[in-house]
Amino acid sequence: MPQRILVLIAHPAHRRSRANAALRAAAKTVEGVTLHDLYEAYPDFLIDVDHEQALLQQHDVVVFQHPVYWYSSPAILKEWQDLVLEHGFAYGRAGTALAGKALLSAVTAGGTETAYGPEGLNRHSIPEFLRPYEATARLCRMRWLPPFILHGTHLLDAPALARHAAEYRALLEGLRDAPAEVAHPPHHAHAPGGH
């Protein structure tokens, strides 16, 4: 049975982001994917917790799609987590609503993969910065999936962006169609010369 996928988009200026726009457009073409732009839905940050929890219960895979902002996510995704992933719903003895669902981080970064290495400017890899999300998945009894990471976004030309968007679309289709078999390696896309 196909899995239903909820893509939570958290980008305060997605119309100005070529990379996130390309990923968003790719996700929009996948049947079974629900796109939910948190900044569009909640420009005032007044998150409808009941609605968000109902959305989570209606889907099998949850994707956090966002740019890396200060080694984390834009503010609305943190607000969403703080309010929606309540004790008794998402975790705790009675908090089993998300048990067995999968969580995927799909992130974009202006810095190259080298910049996110032990010798680079940021000293740590993006998967290391994503550890709080991995811990969140574990606490909520979810399956943590290897992240989809698009490095060096400002260096990517249109054909490269299209190629990475197609890879993202294929990943979502794989999660929809064969979730047990999709144990993809982390996707570290980057601009030429970004290693």
pLDDT tens column, 7-35: 999 999 866 789 999 999 999 999 999 99
Report yes or no on 195 lying in a domain.
no
How many CB atoms are located within 10 Å of the residue 172 CB? 27
pLDDT tens figures, 153-189: 888 899 999 999 999 999 999 999 986 555 554 555 5
Report yes or no on 129 lying in a domain.
yes
Single-letter amino acid, residue 6: L
Identify the CATH number of the domain in which residue 169 sits. Answer: 3.40.50.360
Report yes or no on 112 lying in a domain.
yes
Report yes or no on 194 lying in a domain.
no
pLDDT tens figures, 82-98: 999 999 999 999 999 99
Report yes or no on 140 lying in a domain.
yes
Q: Kindly state the percentage of the chain with pLDDT values over 70.
A: 90
Q: How confident is the model at residue 195 (pLDDT cuts 50, 70, 90)?
A: very low
d(CA 89, CA 69): 28
d(CA 115, CA 37): 29
Domain residues for the domain of 154 are 5-189
Total number of domains in the chain:
1
Tokens encoding 68:
């890396």
Judge whether 4 and 34 are in contact, CB under 8 Å: yes
